[in-house]
Amino acid sequence: MNRDMPNKPIRRAVFPGQFDPITLGHLDIIRRGVKLFDELIVGVGVNPDKKEMFSLDERVKMISDLLADVPETRVEKYTGLTMNFVRKAGATTILRGIRDATDLRYEFQLALANRAVGGVETVFMMTSDQFALTSSSLIRQVVQLGGDIKQLKSLLPGVVITALQQKIKRGEIQPVLHPDAPAN
């Protein structure tokens, strides 16, 4: 039940994503989005089209630790369709962050499909301006091309930077030093 009104149902939403890695932009959406719902479930999923830097369990642990001070959130992993996860979680809403018009166009199509197929509404939240150009894909590319991870401190939580540095040191992430060089 809703904590403010005992007879009102819980407003539960899911914020789904791969979060590989979780960024300060993601955390901003979560911390602002939780104010709109009684409970916000961060659904950590798998995208089979993307190579992961962090395992699903590593991502869940990092995000759980980062949100330990936000009691209205919980972090869960899932595989398969987001719609199935949303239903299983008992949520009625999907929360999505929007950075620009390209995001909006893509997310709008997903939102229409989710409403038509699953009866689930989507709430869009604009990203804060300092995170408008941040994406996990961009972060992965910088890391894989040997960029200075410490320079990402305005985009990533410190625990993520440390974890990336450790993975590189252990050889779990191999930077591509000459991505534009012709193949031999």
Q: Is residue 178 annotated as a catalytic residue, yes or no? A: no
Closest CA to 95 of 11, 41, 14: 14
Q: What are the residue ranges of helices labelled H in 34-120? A: 56-66, 82-89, 101-118
Q: Quote the CA–CA distance of 33 and 46 in Å, as a whole number.
A: 22
- For 124, phi then psi, to 5°, come to -100, 135
* Catalytic, out of 3, 8, 50, 153: 50
* pTM recorded for the entire structure: 0.88
Show the domains of the chain with their CATH numbers.
Answer: 12-169 (3.40.50.620)
Query: Which candidate in 61, 99, 128, 135 is catalytic?
Result: 99
Q: Say whether 143 sits in a helix, a strand or coil.
A: helix
Helix, coil or strand: residue 41: strand
pLDDT in tens, the chain (184 residues): 455 666 788 899 999 999 999 999 999 999 999 999 999 999 999 988 888 899 999 999 999 999 999 999 999 999 998 999 999 999 999 999 999 888 889 999 999 998 998 889 999 999 998 888 888 988 988 888 888 988 999 999 999 999 999 999 998 887 676 555 444 4
Active-site hit among 26, 59, 96, 140: 26
135 carries an active-site annotation: no
Tell me if residue 136 is catalytic: yes
